[in-house]
């Protein structure tokens, strides 16, 4: 796998693993098969994944606990990226809370659950519109100064929000929804590429109409003797050197299929054609 440097000093392979789907339905509660979830995490690391993305709200707490059960003590070079700033009221229910005292609690509890002394990449899960951004990022910056966070990232932000945040604190990554079927944050990706920030696409496998039988994605997959999902991930990897997709799954076989995407060599023409076909369909 090719690498990128988070913050200029933290090397990670460019296909990570998103641990959200290791929980129950609605990202709530225990997984159907906790043992299989642990196997998925271990197999991901065996296959070269060295960035696992999670959040305290996944479960809540279940995803972080599974990572600790499966992988602690962590192998050298493994980056656990987690997030805070949401409360959960039930399946598929999320409410941002950015009060400084709550964000501090999120960090402290994630450190405890993950058995870490420092979180390499801590991401504000959502900007809380009810709390001044200076207060939210100021508290995370204080935690970084205390040695509890190495690097800071943001999630679900616009270019304007990212620029404002970077006036307040150093940001090394942005995690936004982005995939072949949903490219509305292309301006954020382009901004990250210009500024040397990592862009972490979540839900990277939602390909929309392009994935239908006979569609552009299916045709490209056939040409490369690959699955549409593998080509969708390869497209993200080829789109920009700052992309770091984090496909998630609860099954080992699906994980292995996803990671095979790193072996697909798309041409610049194929990358551009897939992007153009999405534009035509939307």
Q: Which residues are annotated as catalytic?
A: 58
Which residues are within 8 A (CB) of 222 and not within 5 positions of it... i.e. 6 or more apart?
none
- DSSP 3-state assignment of 42? helix
Q: How far apart are CA 220 and CA 124, in angstroms?
A: 36
Distance CA 219, CA 281 (A): 16
Strands 79-84 and 119-124: parallel
d(CA 76, CA 144): 21
Preceding peptide of 73 cis, ω within 30°? yes
The answer to whether residues 154 and 195 touch, using CB atoms and an 8 Å cutoff, is: no
- Scanning the chain, the segments in alpha helix (DSSP H) are 34-46, 62-71, 100-114, 133-145, 159-168, 186-195, 216-223, 228-239, 252-259, 268-281
Q: Are 109 and 115 in contact (CB under 8 A)?
A: no
Residue-by-residue DSSP string for 81-133 = EEEE-EEEEETTEEEE---HHHHHHHHHHHHHHHT-SSEEEEEESS--TTS-H
């Amino acid at each position: 796998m090719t690498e990128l440097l988070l913050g200029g000093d933290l090397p990670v392979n460019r296909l990570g693993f998103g641990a959200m789907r290791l929980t129950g339905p609605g990202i709530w509660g225990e997984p159907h098969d906790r043992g299989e979830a642990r196997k998925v995490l271990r197999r991901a690391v065996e296959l070269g994944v060295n960035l696992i993305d999670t959040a305290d709200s996944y479960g809540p707490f279940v995803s972080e606990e599974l990572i600790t059960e499966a992988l602690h003590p962590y192998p050298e070079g493994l980056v656990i990226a987690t997030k805070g700033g949401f409360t959960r009221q039930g399946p598929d229910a999320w409410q941002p809370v950015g009060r400084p005292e709550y964000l501090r609690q999120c960090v402290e509890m994630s450190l405890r659950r993950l058995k870490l002394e420092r979180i390499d990449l801590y991401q504000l899960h959502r900007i809380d519109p009810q709390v001044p951004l200076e207060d939210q990022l100021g508290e995370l910056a204080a935690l970084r100064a205390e040695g509890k966070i190495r690097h800071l990232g943001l999630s679900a932000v616009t270019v304007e929000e990212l620029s404002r945040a970077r006036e307040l604190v150093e940001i090394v990554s942005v995690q936004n929804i982005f995939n072949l079927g949903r490219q509305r944050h292309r301006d954020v990706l382009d901004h990250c590429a210009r500024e040397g920030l990592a862009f972490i696409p979540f839900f990277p496998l939602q390909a929309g109409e392009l994935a239908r039988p006979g569609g552009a994605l299916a045709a490209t997959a056939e040409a490369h003797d690959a699955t549409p999902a593998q080509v969708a991930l390869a497209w993200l990897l080829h789109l920009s050197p700052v992309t770091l997709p984090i496909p998630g799954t609860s099954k080992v076989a699906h994980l292995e299929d996803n990671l095979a995407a790193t072996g697909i060599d798309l041409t610049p023409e194929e990358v551009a054609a897939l992007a153009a076909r999405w534009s035509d369909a939307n």
